[in-house]
A and B are shown apart, each in its own frame.
Chain A
C-alpha cells in the first residue's frame, strides 16, 4: 500500500515560513496541525494519508528527536544521529512511493505543518538571518530538513543486508552531501552510491598521512569523469563495486606518491 501526502500550496508554504519567524523559539509546537486548507492531494494514484497516519509519523519522528535531546539545542553529533534515525523512520513508515517523495510540496507540508517544532529544533534560526528556506519550503530537495533524509535512505537502502539501512551510518553529513548534491551524475544511480559508500567504509586508513576524506573526495572527481562517457547503470553490482574500488585505490596511490 502507498500513501498520498498533502501538498502544501507554494503561497501557503511561504506564509507559514514567515510565521515560523514570528513564533518564539521553543513555541513552534503551537503551529502543529494534521491538515491545512491550503494543501491538496494528487487526484489519483493511492490512498490519502489520514490524520492517524500523519499522527503516527509525527510521533515517530518526535520520539527520535527526544532521544537526541529535544527540545534542548542539539549538538552536531545529536543532529547527525537524528538524521540517520529519521531517514530510516521516514523511509520505513511513511509509505511514500518514490514518485510522491519527489514532490517538493509534500515535504513543505511535513516541515511547516506536521513537524515545525522538530524541524526548527534541528535547523534553528541563524542569528541575524533567520531560518533557512531550503530546509522548510523544499525549494531544493537535497537540502530539505526531511526530504533529503528520505532520499538518502532510499538511495542507500541495501535490501540484501541484515540491516538494510546500515550504510546510513557510514558517512557524515558533509561527505554524503558531496554525493547527494550531484543528483544527476551520482545520486541518480543508487547502486553507484551504495558502492561508493561501501568502498569508503572499507578503506578508512588515515594513519599514512592521506586522510580518508581526501581520498573519497578525489575519487568522486575521478568517478564523475567516468560517468560522462560510461553507463554505470547497466553494470552488475559486482562489476560496479570493483570499478569503484579500483578508482579509489588509484586515487589513494596517486595521493600517496
Chain B
C-alpha cells in the first residue's frame, strides 16, 4: 500500500463534510451508479461542508489570516480531463464556517466512472515562515473523493441495440455478449459490449418501455446470463487463473476485465469469509463438476428473480 507523505502539516478532523446529494436541494444520496445516464444528462450535486477555521489554521501552522479556499473538481475515468466546478474563498474571521456546495457536471464531458473531488486548500501564496508549513497557493490541506458509475466499467456494461439480422447474428436471439477474449488486463469498458436484438419484438418492447414498466424478469435474466458468461469464460481460461492477484487492479484506464470478473465473484458468489482467490478455485472445480449448480449459484447470488420481478 502506498502512503503519500505531505510536505507540510495538515489538519486532523477539522473538516466535516456531509455526503453528496443528487440534485441541488435535499436530494437523495449520491448513488453508486446512474443507470439512466447518457451524454444529454447533466448531473447536479450538492453537499454541505463545515470547517473549523481557527483550529485548522492552528493544526497546519498557518497564520490566523491565511486565506483558505474550498473547491470542487470532477473528471470521468474515460478522458481523465478535470473540470473545476466550484470555488469559494472562506471567510478570514470566525471560528467555524458552513459552506453549501452546488455543482453541475456537464453530461457532454462525462463517461465511464465519474469522480468528484472536494478540496480545501491555501487560497494565496504565503511567505516562508517555518518548515513543514504550506506556503504555495493551491496546496491541498484536506480532500475527499466520491465516485459514481455512469457507464461502461465495473458493474455496468455498455449496452447497444442493434439489428441482429444486419449484424449477422442469430436473428431471433434476444442478446449477445460481445467479449474481446484473451487479454484479461484490458480495460473492461473497451472489451465488453452487450448487444440487444432490435429485431426481437420482446426486446424492442422492453427497450421502449418506461422505466416503471420495464420487464424486470427479462433484464434479470440478462444479468444472470452476463455474469455466468463472463465468469464462466474466465474460469475456463488458464490465462485468467494464472494471473497474479496484483495485476487485477485498475490499470489507469478503468477496471480491467480480470478486475471486473473478480468484482462480480466478490459481489455475487463469494461465501462469507471467503477470499476471492479461494472462491475462484472453488467455483472452477464446481463448474467443471456441475455447470447447472454454478448457474444456480449465480441466480442465488444475484437474487433472481428479484422482488417486483414478474
The chain B residue with its CB closest to the CB of A4 is B39
The chain A residue with its CB closest to the CB of B207 is A43
CB-CB under 8 A for A229 and B180, given A102-B78, A189-B82: no
CB atoms of A234 and B162 under 8 A apart: no
Chain A contacts of B160 at CB under 8 A? 7, 40-43
CB-CB under 8 A for A46 and B39, given A11-B180, A99-B110, A233-B73: yes
B84 interface residue per 8 A CB criterion: yes
B40, B73, B82, B190: which contacts A105 (Cβ < 8 A)?
B190
State the CA gap A228–B107 with chains docked (Å): 28
Count class of interface residues, chain B: 35 or more
A37, A46, A228: which contacts B40 (Cβ < 8 A)?
A46
CB atoms of A40 and B4 under 8 A apart: no
State the CA gap A31–B39 with chains docked (Å): 31
CB-CB under 8 A for A239 and B137, given A11-B178, A234-B121: yes
CB atoms of A99 and B108 under 8 A apart: yes
B186 interface residue per 8 A CB criterion: yes
The chain B residue with its CB closest to the CB of A35 is B166
Chain B contacts of A100 at CB under 8 A? 39, 111
B34 interface residue per 8 A CB criterion: no
CB atoms of A99 and B107 under 8 A apart: yes
Chain A contacts of B252 at CB under 8 A? 183-184
Chain A contacts of B38 at CB under 8 A? 42-45
B97 interface residue per 8 A CB criterion: no
Closest CB in chain A relative to B107 CB, distance in Å: 7
CB-CB under 8 A for A188 and B186, given A98-B108, A98-B109, A235-B138: no
CB atoms of A9 and B166 under 8 A apart: no
B61 interface residue per 8 A CB criterion: no
A190 interface residue per 8 A CB criterion: yes
B40, B69, B75, B193: which contacts A45 (Cβ < 8 A)?
B40
CB atoms of B195 and A10 under 8 A apart: no
CB-CB under 8 A for A188 and B108, given A10-B178, A99-B39: no
Chain A contacts of B83 at CB under 8 A? 233
CB atoms of B84 and A233 under 8 A apart: yes
Chain B contacts of A187 at CB under 8 A? 80-81
The chain A residue with its CB closest to the CB of B107 is A99
CB-CB under 8 A for A37 and B167, given A229-B140, A234-B73: yes
B46 interface residue per 8 A CB criterion: no
CB atoms of B178 and A9 under 8 A apart: yes
A224 interface residue per 8 A CB criterion: no
B159 interface residue per 8 A CB criterion: yes
| Contact code string A149-181 (vs B, CB < 8 Å = 1, else 0) | 001001100000000000000000000000000
| Contact code string B243-262 (vs A, CB < 8 Å = 1, else 0) | 00000000010000000000
A46, A138, A155, A228: which contacts B4 (Cβ < 8 A)?
A228
CB atoms of A232 and B39 under 8 A apart: no
Chain B contacts of A42 at CB under 8 A? 38-39, 158, 160
CB atoms of B162 and A40 under 8 A apart: yes
Of all A-B residue pairs in the complex, the 10 with the closest CB atoms, nearest first, are A10-B180, A102-B78, A45-B39, A45-B38, A40-B160, A234-B71, A102-B79, A230-B138, A99-B111, A188-B80
A sample of 15 more A-B contacts (CB under 8 A), given A100-B111, A105-B190, A139-B186, is A10-B178, A37-B168, A40-B162, A42-B39, A43-B161, A45-B40, A97-B108, A99-B79, A100-B39, A102-B78, A228-B4, A229-B4, A229-B7, A234-B69, A234-B121
26 pairs, CB–CB < 8 Å, chain A vs chain B: A10-B180, A10-B191, A11-B181, A37-B167, A41-B160, A42-B38, A42-B160, A43-B38, A45-B38, A46-B39, A97-B108, A99-B39, A99-B76, A100-B39, A138-B190, A188-B75, A188-B81, A188-B82, A229-B6, A229-B140, A231-B138, A233-B71, A233-B73, A233-B84, A234-B69, A234-B119
